[in-house]
């Protein structure tokens, strides 16, 4: 099975060197792209049906097609790699950056070429110091070989790439909040429209893409959209880096065909549950996705099928709930995170999530009441899409709304027994 994204990873977890990367065909996608018109690169990406790997799943080529092109287009235009991996339970972009930094850089150059961007930024989360070191070295190597900089490989196209170290806060993953952070401001989301493709960084056309998404782009250019489709088991193209954490036998990351069934990932790759534990549920794509349960185990892990099952593919990194872990406690932990990370801009979000967290905490402490269940259910509606400034709060209540449905008896027990049955 082909693994374009992770196939070159070294067993010792060191970064693939530039020489190794080139030997494996690295920077060939860039050479191919530079002989094409930018619009043709975008067309290939459109045909490949590559969708955003950061959580939202927006079609990448379509996003690029909104960028003004041609002589009259505003410049500088920007390409930003969203390397602010902070979705709890997600650890795939760190692996991509630490273990094959040139892959991200090549993906960025090709993507920047497609939208005729002048400047690129890698917006990196502050804790990823190893990624910073390895990317900084790889950028310098790429500049020395003229893969970056002025008149790249004699093509007439120029791109400067900067590495930006962030200083925390989950909201920076929201693309317009990220742009404010890059501009040196508090990371509040911006009103849309205008969309960043038209008016982003410093008011100029800007594309923001997740690390894993960008890592696919030059492979598509090199080998074609048909090849990319062929990697997948479903209509969404490519492979996906899936991950599993929680009390399974072998937690980890695996690059597999897009649409690999959840059961296969959990049982064949993650080795199933640890001895003596039963599977109760899973967050399929990070903290802001709805729980799925046993009846959904045969769901192919792609955008459409996970949505049909009632959740989202999100980042594709699953967090498993076992029968000896308290579902109410787990949801409290998730809402604690979201209440803390709310940027504070709009009232339903900062107030609603803090309220939600308090109720769940009280319930875990044996102080829950029946009325609390109504309040929690109300919050999931009150914080639904359309009522808040951005997608943060609607995502935050996804695990809560599904927990109320699938683990209703566990909530009930906390209230009836006035204690958490899982705590001594």
Q: Is 363 exposed, middle or buried (0-12, 13-18, 19+ CB in 10 A)?
A: buried
Provide CB contacts within 8 A for 6, sequence distance 6+: 95, 96, 99, 100, 241, 253, 255
- Say how far apart CA 405 and CA 307 lie, in whole Å: 17
Provide CB contacts within 8 A for 11, sequence distance 6+: none
Q: Per-residue string for binding with other proteins, 84-103, x by CB under 8 A?
A: -xxxxxxx-xx---------
Question: If binding is defined by CB under 8 A, does position 28 make contact with other proteins?
Answer: no
Give the number of residues in contact with other proteins, rule: CB under 8 A.
56
Cis omega (within 30 of 0) for bond into 358: no
CB closer to other proteins out of 253 and 306: 253
Residue-by-residue DSSP string for 366-402: T---HHHHHHHHHHHHHTSTTSSSSSHHHHHTHHHHH
Segment lying near other proteins (by CB under 8 A), choices 62-70, 214-222, 234-242, 330-338: 330-338
Question: If binding is defined by CB under 8 A, does position 130 make contact with other proteins?
Answer: yes
Question: If binding is defined by CB under 8 A, does position 300 make contact with other proteins?
Answer: no
CB 175 within 8 A of CB 182: no
Segment lying near other proteins (by CB under 8 A), choices 35-43, 220-228, 293-301, 321-329: 321-329
Rounded to a whole number of angstroms, the minimum distance from the CB of residue 299 to other proteins is 21
Question: If binding is defined by CB under 8 A, does position 206 make contact with other proteins?
Answer: no
CB 383 within 8 A of CB 397: yes
Report the 10 Å Cβ neighbour count for 386. Answer: 5
Q: Which value, in Å, is the radius of gyration of the alpha carbons in the chain?
A: 22
- Residue from 139, 181, 309, 376 touching other proteins (CB under 8 A): that is 181
- Say how far apart CA 262 and CA 260 lie, in whole Å: 6
- Residue from 16, 34, 187, 313 touching other proteins (CB under 8 A): that is 187
Rounded to a whole number of angstroms, the minimum distance from the CB of residue 199 to other proteins is 15
Segment lying near other proteins (by CB under 8 A), choices 43-51, 142-150, 240-248, 372-380: 240-248
Question: If binding is defined by CB under 8 A, does position 269 make contact with other proteins?
Answer: no
Q: Give Cα 203 to chain centroid, integer Å.
A: 25
Question: If binding is defined by CB under 8 A, does position 129 make contact with other proteins?
Answer: yes
Give the C-alpha distances (Å, rounded to integers) separating 318 from 195, 222, 290, 301, 377: 30, 31, 11, 10, 24
Question: If binding is defined by CB under 8 A, does position 401 make contact with other proteins?
Answer: no
Question: If binding is defined by CB under 8 A, does position 168 make contact with other proteins?
Answer: yes
- Residue from 75, 162, 308, 412 touching other proteins (CB under 8 A): that is 162
Could you give the 3-state DSSP secondary structure of residue 40? Answer: helix
Question: If binding is defined by CB under 8 A, does position 330 make contact with other proteins?
Answer: yes
Question: If binding is defined by CB under 8 A, does position 243 make contact with other proteins?
Answer: yes
Question: If binding is defined by CB under 8 A, does position 233 make contact with other proteins?
Answer: no
CB closer to other proteins out of 292 and 334: 334
Segment lying near other proteins (by CB under 8 A), choices 22-30, 82-90, 139-147, 298-306: 82-90
16: its two tokens: 């693939």
Question: If binding is defined by CB under 8 A, does position 178 make contact with other proteins?
Answer: no
Residue-by-residue DSSP string for 212-241: HHHHHHHHHHHH-HHHHHHH-SSSS-SEEE
Closest CA to 88 of 363, 314, 393: 314
CB closer to other proteins out of 205 and 246: 246
Binding site for other proteins (CB under 8 A): 85-91, 93-94, 121, 126-130, 162, 164-170, 181-187, 202, 243-247, 251-253, 283, 287, 317, 319-322, 325, 329-330, 333-334, 336-337, 340-341, 343
């Amino acid at each position: 099975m082909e693994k374009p994204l992770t196939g070159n990873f070294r067993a010792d977890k060191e970064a693939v060197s530039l020489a190794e990367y080139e030997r494996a065909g690295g920077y060939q996608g860039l050479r191919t792209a530079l002989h094409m018109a930018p619009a043709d690169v975008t067309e290939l990406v459109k045909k490949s049906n590559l969708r955003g790997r950061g959580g939202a799943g927006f079609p990448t080529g379509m996003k690029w097609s909104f960028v003004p092109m041609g002589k009259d287009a505003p410049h500088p235009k920007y390409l930003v790699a969203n390397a602010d991996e902070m979705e709890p339970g997600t650890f795939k972009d760190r692996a991509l950056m630490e273990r094959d930094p040139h892959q991200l850089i090549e993906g960025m150059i090709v993507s920047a070429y497609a939208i005729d961007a002048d400047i690129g930024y890698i917006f990196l989360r502050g804790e990823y110091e190893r990624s910073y070191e390895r990317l900084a070295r790889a950028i310098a190597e790429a500049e020395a070989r003229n893969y970056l900089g002025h008149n790249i490989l004699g093509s007439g196209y120029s791109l400067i790439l900067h590495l930006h170290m962030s200083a925390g806060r989950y909201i920076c993953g929201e693309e317009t909040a990220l742009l404010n952070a890059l501009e040196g401001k508090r990371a509040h989301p911006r009103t849309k429209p205008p969309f960043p493709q038209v008016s982003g960084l410093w008011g100029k056309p800007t594309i923001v893409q997740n690390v894993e998404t960008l890592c696919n782009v030059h492979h598509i250019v090199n080998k074609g959209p048909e090849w990319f489709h062929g990697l997948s088991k479903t209509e969404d193209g490519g492979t996906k880096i899936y991950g599993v954490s929680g009390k399974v036998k072998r937690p980890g990351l695996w690059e597999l065909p897009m649409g690999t069934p959840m059961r296969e990932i959990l049982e064949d790759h993650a080795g199933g549950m640890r001895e003596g534990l039963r599977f109760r549920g899973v967050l399929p794509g990070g903290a802001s996705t709805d729980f799925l349960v046993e009846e959904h185990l045969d769901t192919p892990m792609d955008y459409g099928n996970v949505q049909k099952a009632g959740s989202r593919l999100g980042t594709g990194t699953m967090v498993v709930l076992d029968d000896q872990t308290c579902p109410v406690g787990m949801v409290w932990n998730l809402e604690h995170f979201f209440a803390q990370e709310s940027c504070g801009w709009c009232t339903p979000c900062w107030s609603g999530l803090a309220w939600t967290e308090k109720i769940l905490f009280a319930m875990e402490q044996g102080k829950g009441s029946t009325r609390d269940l109504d309040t929690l259910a109300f919050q999931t509606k009150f914080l639904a899409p359309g009522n808040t400034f951005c997608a943060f709060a609607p995502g935050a209540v996804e695990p809560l709304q599904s927990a109320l449905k699938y683990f209703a008896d566990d909530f009930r027990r906390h209230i009836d027994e006035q204690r958490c049955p899982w705590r001594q």
